[in-house]
Amino acid sequence: SAPPSAAVLESKRQETKGTMEDKKLIISFHPLAAPVIFTKELESLAANEGDSVTLHCELSKACVPLEWRKGELGLCPCAKYEIRETGKVAQLVIHNVEPEDSGSYTCDTGDHQSTAQLAVKGMPMKLSRWPAPSLNPRPLSPGSETTWPSKQNDASSKKKKKESLFPFDQIEDWTKIGLK
C-alpha cells in the first residue's frame, strides 16, 4: 500500500519468474510548505555616529535560514555586525555606526525580502586645539608675510616676520595645543 503522501500512477499485474505480481509505480510527494512571510517588516532608522543600531523584523516561522545584506553585499557575524534570531524575530545589530554604514539593509528568507534604510549622521569635526590661540588662523602660503603677536601676547606690539608653512618657532607652549 502507498504511504498517505504518495499516489499510485500505474498498477498492473505481470508474471515474474512464474508467479503473478502486482507492479505499481508509486510517486511520493511532500506537500509544499507555506512560504515564510514577514509579519513585521524592517523599519528605516536614523542614528548618530558611534551609536549601535538594531534592525529587526518578525517572520511567520521560527528557525528559518536568513541572509542579511547591505546593498548587494552579504553580511556575516563579526565585530561590526551581530546577527540574532530568537523565535520568529530576526535582528541585525550594527555596532559603532559610521556615515559609511548608511544605506539599504535587507533581510532575505529566499522567498521574501524586507528592506530598510539606515541614515548615519556624522559627528562634526572639532578643531579645538589647532590653530593655537596665539597663531593667525588664516591659511598660510609659502613666503607670505604676516604679523604675529609678540611673546607677551600683546596684540598692540606686533612684529613683522616671514611665515613658514608650519610656524613652530611661534608656539611657546606646546601643551596648549596638545602636542606635548
Residue 115 sits in the same domain as residue 137 = no
67 belongs to a structural domain: yes
94 belongs to a structural domain: yes
Residue 63 sits in the same domain as residue 92 = yes
Residue 105 sits in the same domain as residue 130 = no
138 belongs to a structural domain: yes
* Count: domains in the chain: 2
Residue 103 sits in the same domain as residue 47 = yes
Q: State the residue range of the domain holding 81.
A: 38-121
How far is residue 89 from each of residues 18, 51, 62, 64, 112, measured CA to CA in Å?
63, 22, 8, 10, 15
Residue 133 sits in the same domain as residue 115 = no
13 belongs to a structural domain: no
pTM of the model: 0.55
Q: List % helix, strand, coil for the chain (3-state, nearest 5).
A: 5, 45, 50
CATH number where 111 lies = 2.60.40.10
How is residue 44 annotated by DSSP?
A: -
Residue 110 sits in the same domain as residue 139 = no
Residue 58 sits in the same domain as residue 106 = yes
2 belongs to a structural domain: no
Residue 97 sits in the same domain as residue 143 = no
Residue 117 sits in the same domain as residue 148 = no
Tens of pLDDT along the chain (180 residues) come to 445 444 545 555 555 566 656 666 666 656 677 889 999 999 999 999 999 999 999 999 999 999 999 999 999 999 999 999 999 999 999 999 999 999 999 999 999 999 999 999 998 876 555 555 555 555 555 655 555 555 555 444 444 444 445 555 555 554 555 554
CB 80 within 8 A of CB 68: no
How far is residue 178 from each of residues 45, 131, 166, measured CA to CA in Å?
37, 11, 16
> Who's near 98: CB < 8 A, 6+ residues apart?
49, 120, 122
Domain boundary among the residues 121, 136, 157 is at: 121
161 belongs to a structural domain: yes
Domain boundary among the residues 78, 93, 121 is at: 121
